[in-house]
Amino acid sequence: MNNSLKLRLMGNNVKRDVHIANRASLMLANYTRHAPDVLCLQECDALAYETVVKPFATGNFSVAGTAVEGSGEVSRTPILYRNDKFSLVEQAGAFFAHRYTNSKTYSIAVLQDKASGKRFAVINAHFAIIIGRYPKEIGTDAEVGNQWRIGNAKQLLSVANELRQTHGDIPIFLTGDFNSTCLEEPYRVLCTFFTDTLTVAREFCSRPIATFHAVGKEPDGNGLPLDYIFVTDQNTDVLRSEIVCDSDMLNSTDHCAVIADLVI
């Protein structure tokens, strides 16, 4: 492509828990080794910021994604981008309308490449889920949680349409922990606008195994991903797609990272 922009997008759920400080150095080493231009993290609270986000966002990285009122003083879904390559045009953050906890948010960053002037948008999301410790009156994840995630997906389609109305036909990249597989309705809703990079990449560096796993344990080889990178395919060439599941990644958090090398 003439005057094209190549970039690497990486997404990962950091598993915020009391042990995150013990895992942070390995997590940071993973991110440095894979050298993303844009890194999207999920499940980030104040402790995750101190141990993972702030240490990585030094030198050539800045953080986008505004904090959402009621979710704490930080964005739970921050977008880290290389400030030597990109300028921040716009940022935002919001709750998903359908959720139980205040950790289920999405963030937006519109970035402009300093060399070419090309703009693109990144959305980083963490979809709702109902787990065992939540009140039983809420309902089951299979029924109510699934409906929430369908609502989350539809909300992001509205966000994407608003970005197009404001910024024109720019590429939009979406990544996150969607708590849904490709066999479920939330994924299908997203695919009415976006394309899963695992389905169109020129080079596949991994098969679509489960991305969720116990820390230090192999993911289910017969399972399916919950974490994805989606693109708007009419103006994006997906060179490479990967689910990172080496031992360093498995020991650092409970989600395999996802990576896509893209050209716009």
Question: Per-residue pLDDT averaged across 178-197, rounded?
Answer: 97
Question: Per-residue pLDDT averaged across 116-122, rounded?
Answer: 96
Where are the domains positioned within the chain?
6-263
Per-residue pLDDT at 75: 86
Question: Per-residue pLDDT averaged across 61-81, rounded?
Answer: 87
Mean pLDDT of the chain: 94
Question: Per-residue pLDDT averaged across 167-191, rounded?
Answer: 97
Higher local confidence (pLDDT), 68 or 190: 190
Question: Per-residue pLDDT averaged across 95-115, rounded?
Answer: 94
Residue 70 has pLDDT above 80, yes or no: no
Residue pLDDT, tens place only, 46-65: 999 999 999 999 889 999 99
Question: Per-residue pLDDT averaged across 105-133, rounded?
Answer: 96
Confidence of residue 234 (pLDDT cuts 50, 70, 90): confident
Residue 192 has pLDDT above 50, yes or no: yes
Query: Helix/strand/coil (H, E, C) string of 79-138?
Result: EEEECCCEEEEEEEEEECCCCCCCCCEEEEEEEEECCCCCEEEEEEEECCCCCCCCCHHH
Residue pLDDT, tens place only, 18-43: 999 999 999 999 999 999 999 999 99
Question: Per-residue pLDDT averaged across 180-206, rounded?
Answer: 95
Residue pLDDT, tens place only, 205-226: 877 789 999 999 999 888 999 9
Instruction: Transcribe the chain into DSSP letters.
Output: -TT--EEEEEEEE---STTHHHHHHHHHHHHHHH--SEEEEES--HHHIIIIIHHHSSTTEEEE-PPPTTS-SS-SS-EEEETTTEEEEEEEEEE-SS-SSTT-EEEEEEEEETTT--EEEEEEEE-----TTS-GGG--IIIIIHHHHHHHHHHHHHHHHHHHHHH-S--EEEEEE-S--TTSHHHHHHTTT-EEHHHH-SEESS-----B--TTS---TT---SEEEEE-GGG-EEEEEEEE-SHHHHHH-SB-EEEEEEE-
Percent of the chain at pLDDT > 70 equals 99
Residue 71 has pLDDT above 90, yes or no: no
Per-residue pLDDT at 66: 85
Per-residue pLDDT at 2: 58
Per-residue pLDDT at 1: 45
Residue 113 has pLDDT above 70, yes or no: yes
Higher local confidence (pLDDT), 120 or 69: 120
Residue 182 has pLDDT above 50, yes or no: yes
Confidence of residue 264 (pLDDT cuts 50, 70, 90): very high
Q: Per CATH, which fold does 6-263 belong to?
A: Deoxyribonuclease I; Chain A (3.60.10)
Per-residue pLDDT at 205: 82
